[in-house]
Structures are given as C-alpha cells and as structure tokens.
Amino acid sequence: MGLGSFFKRNKDNKKEETVESHIDINNDDCKGADCEKCVIACPNNVLIKEGDDTVARSPMTCKHCRVCEAICPNECIVVN
C-alpha cells in the first residue's frame, strides 16, 4: 500500500475521494535532508522533501518512468 495519499476532487459530483499513491517511499531508509537525488531527477516534479522525508506531492502526474527508482542509492522507492 502506498504511503502517500491525497484528495482528488471529483469533477462530476464535487465529492472528495481518497486516491492511493502508486509510489512507495521507505523514509526509514531515505537519507533525508542529505539527499535529494530523486527530487531533482524526477522529470515531472512529483517528489518533494518535507523535512527529512521524501513524499509524492502529485502522484497523478507521475509518468511511471522509474527514474526515481533507478537513481535512489538506498532503493527506497518503488513505483507500482
């Protein structure tokens, strides 16, 4: 299950629904503030740092290129 989730406004009935992120980030193994490789490498600006954690700010804009998976030195990221 993805660690990140966010609310998306439904265009039809204006109700909010929870959308699970398909980007799993293991922040226990993330190097935190000392590393921003995935944030810098993502061509779609999906990832951001929040303190020492890395989070998927906008998973719906992810193009599944898996650059973040490849560049992470600690294999913290899995894109499903």
| Residues at the contact surface with ligand SF4, assessed by CB under 6 A | 23, 25, 30-31, 35-38, 42, 44, 46-47, 54, 62-68, 71-74, 76-77, 79
CB of 61 to ligand SF4, least distance (A): 7
DSSP string of 10-46, one letter each residue: -TTT--EEEEE-SEEE-TTTS-GGG--HHHHH-TT--
First-to-last C-alpha distance (Å) of the chain = 10
Output 3 or 36, the one with its CB closest to ligand SF4: 36
Q: Are 6 and 23 in contact (CB under 8 A)?
A: no
Least separation in angstroms between residue 43's CB and ligand SF4 is 6
State which residue, 8 or 64, has the beta carbon closest to ligand SF4.
64
Pair 5, 30: CB distance under 8 Å: no
* Residue with Cβ nearer ligand SF4 (3 or 65): 65
